[in-house]
């Protein structure tokens, strides 16, 4: 269940049964009087007619972010990555933008320089994990079933299973979706949003939350430029309007264009994390 | 959200939940209301009233420091600058709940 975005998923439902009790006494601090926790306000219970119209109602102040639990778990992931000098990146995009192809190309170029590990997120099938496994890279596939995004708990479980070595580059491929994954911190160093040029130059404006949340924007299928009515300059301007600080790369896994710059940047991120 | 409230208040029946949702938080209040009933079924929040306070987005201009109201991420400042930092409007908070005490 995901009340944030309205989707439902077995995977995300599982972690909600984990209990944490840091919040138990939070409401006491919000009351003006020290004895307030036991003070009952008399109010009419909604929809109960006359029989119960003297129900006691106690107001409990929560002042809690709806995503607080995910954020706590993401902070735990981030601490784990920091302790092990792991550089983790969360790749998001619309379905079919070429995330897996980009990761395969990255693995091919940087493989051997440092340890690699991949977490694949899809609603169904292990097809992407199979493609990554074929490169010899350790991979865990998460199937979210009806869920539309990865959350910090799923990533934590996958990291436990993968057990990436110190100094690794951890590539997390999120479910193809430009909406909900923008809101769920997984503990990554940065989000990398992948945009294939067949999707149109206005995508950053149409999905501003995701493009704002990203530290890296990777344009893919750039080899198709001569065949499309895609205005590259306008696309780049749109990205910068939404997110002036994002690092932008233009790549093609077909002819290899732009891959050296992207892969060198990712390697530099690993070097920074290991330092 | 339903799980967070249920964990906090325990098995007591919840009569009302008050949320604060920023206008640029990426959440559609109507969609949230729509799924609240389904998500709360069988939990202590079943039948609770969901109140959503929408918080208008505001930004601060990085160039002239003026504070402006915003309806999209791209609203420019009156000074012409498009470098506006969002200072409100991304809230996704559970403000409080009312729990029935018998």
Tell me what pLDDT residue A27 has: 40
| Chain B neighbors of A44, CB-CB under 8 A | none
Q: Encode A169-196: b = buried (16+ Cβ within 10 Å), e = exposed.
A: bbbbbbbbbbbbbbbbbbbbbebbbbbb
| Chain A neighbors of B1, CB-CB under 8 A | 3-4, 66
Is the pTM of the predicted complex or chain greater than 0.90? no
DSSP E strands in chain A: the ranges are: 41-42, 56-65, 87-93, 116-122, 139-143, 169-173, 190-196, 216-220, 247-250
Instruction: Give the chain B residue nearest A40 (alpha carbons).
Output: B101
**Percent of chain A clearing pLDDT 70 (strictly above):** 80
Tell me what pLDDT residue A63 has: 86
- Residue among B39, B82, B101 whose CB faces A1 most closely: B39
pLDDT digits (tens, 9 = 90+) for A89-126: 999 999 999 999 999 999 999 999 999 999 999 999 99
Tell me what pLDDT residue A98 has: 97
- Least Cα separation, residue B15 to chain A (angstroms): 7
CA distance A89 to A269: 10
CB atoms within 10 A of CB B29: 15
Tell me what pLDDT residue A7 has: 54
Which residues have CB under 8 Å from B92's CB, separation 6+?
A: A4, A65, A66, A67, A183, B19, B20, B21, B22, B25, B27
Contact B31, B58 (CB under 8 A): no
Tell me what pLDDT residue A5 has: 53
Cα–Cα–Cα angle for A14, A19, A25, rounded to 5 degrees: 145
Mean per-residue pLDDT over chain A, rounded: 85
Q: Is A99 exposed, middle or buried (0-12, 13-18, 19+ CB in 10 A)?
A: buried
Selected residue with higher pLDDT from A137 and A16 = A137
Residue carrying the six token digits 């479980």: A157
Looking at A78-82, A217-221, B33-37, which range is the least confident one?
B33-37
CA distance A215 to A118: 19
How much is the average pLDDT of A195-218?
96
CA distance B93 to B20: 5
pLDDT higher than 50, residue A42: no
pLDDT digits (tens, 9 = 90+) for A136-189: 999 999 999 988 999 999 999 999 999 999 999 999 999 999 999 999 999 999
Selected residue with higher pLDDT from A41 and A62 = A62
CA distance A174 to A123: 10
Give the mutation candidate from B6, B8, B26, B74 for the A interface (greatest A CB count, under 10 A): B26
Please state whether beta strands A190-196 and A216-220 pair in parallel, antiparallel, or not at all (unpaired): parallel
Report the helix count and the strand count for chain A, using DSSP H and E: 10, 9
What is the ipTM, given to two decimal places?
A: 0.77
Do A66 and B92 make contact, defined as CB atoms within 8 angstroms?
yes
């Amino acid at each position: 269940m995901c009340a944030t975005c309205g989707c439902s998923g077995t995977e995300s439902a599982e972690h909600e049964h984990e209990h944490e009790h840091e919040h138990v006494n939070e409401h006491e601090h919000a009351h003006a009087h020290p004895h307030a926790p036991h003070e009952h306000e008399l109010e009419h219970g909604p929809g109960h007619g006359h029989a119960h119209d003297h129900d006691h109602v106690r107001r409990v102040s929560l002042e809690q972010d709806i995503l607080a639990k995910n954020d706590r778990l993401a902070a735990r992931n981030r601490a784990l990555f920091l302790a092990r000098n792991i550089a983790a990146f969360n790749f998001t995009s619309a379905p079919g933008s070429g995330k897996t192809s980009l990761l395969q190309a990255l693995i091919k170029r940087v493989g051997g320089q440092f340890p690699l590990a991949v977490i694949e997120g899809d609603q169904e099938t292990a097809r992407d994990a199979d493609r990554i496994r074929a490169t010899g890279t350790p991979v865990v596939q998460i199937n979210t079933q009806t869920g539309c995004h990865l959350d910090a708990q799923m990533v934590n479980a996958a990291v436990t299973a993968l057990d990436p070595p110190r100094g690794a580059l951890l590539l997390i491929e999120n479910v193809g979706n430009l909406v909900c994954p923008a809101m769920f911190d997984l503990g990554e160093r940065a989000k990398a949003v992948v945009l294939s040029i067949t999707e149109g130059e206005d995508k950053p404006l149409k999905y501003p939350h995701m493009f704002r949340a990203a530290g890296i924007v990777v344009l893919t299928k750039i080899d198709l430029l001569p065949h499309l009515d895609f205005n590259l300059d306008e696309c780049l301007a749109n990205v910068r309007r939404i997110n002036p600080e994002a690092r932008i790369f233009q790549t093609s896994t077909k002819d290899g264009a732009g891959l050296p710059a992207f892969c060198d940047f990712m390697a530099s991120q690993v070097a920074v994390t290991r330092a | 959200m339903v799980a967070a409230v249920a964990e906090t208040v325990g098995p007591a029946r919840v009569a009302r939940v008050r949320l604060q949702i920023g206008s640029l938080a990426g959440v559609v209040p109507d969609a949230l209301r729509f799924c609240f009933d389904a998500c709360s079924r069988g939990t202590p929040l079943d039948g609770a009233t969901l109140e959503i306070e929408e918080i208008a987005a505001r930004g601060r201009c990085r160039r002239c420091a003026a504070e402006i109201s915003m309806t999209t991420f791209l609203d420019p400042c009156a000074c012409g600058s498009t470098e506006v930092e969002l200072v409100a409007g991304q809230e996704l908070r559970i403000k409080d709940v009312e729990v029935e005490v018998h």
